[in-house]
Structure formats: structure tokens, C-alpha cells
Amino acid sequence: MGNSNPSCVGQTGITLRHLGLVDYETTWRAMRSFTHGRDSNTPDELWLLEHPPVFTLGQAGRLEHLKSPRDIPVVRTDRGGQVTYHGPGQLVLYVLLDLNRWRLGVRRLVEILENSVIALVSEAGIRANGKKGAPGVYVEGRKLAALGLRVRRGCCYHGLSLNVNMDLAPFGWIDPCGYPGLGVTQLRDLGVPWDMEKVGSLLVRHFLTELKKRCPRSVCSSWL
């Protein structure tokens, strides 16, 4: 994508792109194009960004979970999961990885993404957790981060969204992730004053740490 300011993350061979505030559908098309066009030699990429206000319906999404979308666009997408909201002040990390290269399954990747957020907020003294059967990261039962992935020919795209400092009101107009009454939270409301740049840097660092922990030693010695 244009204006992406790409950089290589350490010795990983992974390209990190800071995309800023970008349209959801444009980004989705770019992810699909990248994934459809890649081969076994294509470097993996991480995209850090924000989206303008948009509701997205995953493959399991049902319209009845959109209680009152108002004037916010609704996009039916190809990621897993149900309905969620994206907006400014929410950090999105898209992971475009060759899972065969890392010898990872989807479940293991979900654990890596969840543990990355859990480790990040622990630096601020906050205890967070995952939840069996309901991917994401929660603090005292309220959802802080949502996950959704798509895998094509062993390569994944989409990723996670982490609420940092945003207007949470639109979450009240849906059943977040298909769960009526599910509460949501964000770093600001948890007393964490970090800006988007710091959160992005920490999230990428913890993601790479978790990736290294969970991939086979022979793979990590080659790629990390």
C-alpha cells in the first residue's frame, strides 16, 4: 500500500508497515491481493493502522447483531468471527504470514496474538486474559482486543484490533462479536496513558517475542 513507511523488524525478515488512518475496504483488498500473489519466497508483513468508523461482519456474522448501525458503513468481510467495530483510536495489527514457514496452525497463532496483548498490558500492571471459545483479550470480563483471521493456501491475513483511546459508543449499537451485552473497554479507561505510537511499538515487540516462543526451534533459528 502507498505511504506505508516500510521497515524490516530486526533480523526477522518480516516487513513492518505503518499505514496510518486508512479505509477498511481498501486495506482489505490490499491484504487479499498481497496474499493471493505471494509465493514461498515472499517476506511476511505486519501492518499497523487505524480505520475510519466501520462495522465489519465476519463469515459467521449475522445481521441481527447489528442493532442500530446508524450512519456507520457496514462491510461483510472474509475474516472469521462475527460483528465488530473499528474506529480512530483503535490500533489494528494485520498479520500477513506464511503459516507453513512458521509451522503454525490457526489456533496457535490466535494464542500468540492474545498473549501479545496480555503481555503488553501487563507492563502497565493490568491483568488480562483470553477466554475459551471466544477469541480475544478481556479485562474483568470486558473485551479489550478482538481477533479475526483468514487463511488461504497456508497464508493468513487480518489480525487483531486493540482499543486504545477511542469513542466506544458504537459498540453499544451492536452485539460485539455476537454476544449480546458484552462490555468493552480500552487502555485509556484502564488508566493507561500511552499514545498509539508507543502501543504499536510494544505490540509488535511482544508479538515477535510470542512468535519466537511458540515456533519450532529450527524455524526460529532461521527466521528470528
211 is in an annotated binding site: no
Q: Which residues contact 43 (CB under 8 A, 6 or more apart)?
A: 13, 14, 15
Report the alpha-carbon angle 66-67-70, nearest 5.
Answer: 85
151 is in an annotated binding site: no
Helix (H) or strand (E) holding 177: none
Query: Distance between CA 178 and CA 46 in Å, rounded?
Result: 27
Query: Distance between CA 152 and CA 209 in Å, rounded?
Result: 25
84 is in an annotated binding site: yes
Assigned C-alpha cell, 219:
524455524
147 is in an annotated binding site: yes
Find where cell 484502564 sits.
190
**Catalytic-labelled residue, pool 155, 156, 177, 215:** 177
Find where cell 463469515 sits.
59
Catalytic, 177? Answer yes
> Is 130 in a helix, a strand, or coil?
coil
58 is in an annotated binding site: no
202 is in an annotated binding site: no
Render 58-104 in DSSP notation, one character per residue. -TT--GGGBS--TTS-EEE-SSSSSEEEE-TTEEEEEEEEEHHHHT-
125 is in an annotated binding site: no
80 is in an annotated binding site: yes
81 is in an annotated binding site: yes
18 is in an annotated binding site: no
Contact 56, 79 (CB under 8 A): yes
Assigned C-alpha cell, 124:
502497565
141 is in an annotated binding site: no
- Residues annotated within the binding site for substrate are 79-86, 146-148, 159-161
Active site residues: 177
- Residues annotated within the binding site are 79-86, 146-148, 159-161
